[in-house]
Amino acid sequence: MFDFVEIDSSFYKIPNAFMIKNWCKKTPDYFRFTAKFPKVVIHNKRLKDVENELELFFSSIVHLEEKT
Would you list the domain boundaries of the chain? 4-64
The pLDDT, as a whole number, for residue 65 is 84
- Return the DSSP state at 64: G
- Give the rounded percent of residues in the chain with a pLDDT score beyond 70: 100
Residue type at position 1:
M
Report residue 4's pLDDT band, with 50, 70 and 90 as the boundaries. Answer: very high
Nearest CA among 12, 36, 21, 18 for reference residue 67: 21
The pLDDT, as a whole number, for residue 1 is 77
Asked if pLDDT for residue 31 goes beyond 80, the answer is: yes
Q: Considering the entire predicted model, what is its pTM? A: 0.85
**What whole-number distance in Å separates Cα of residue 41 and Cα of residue 1?**
32
Report residue 2's pLDDT band, with 50, 70 and 90 as the boundaries. Answer: confident
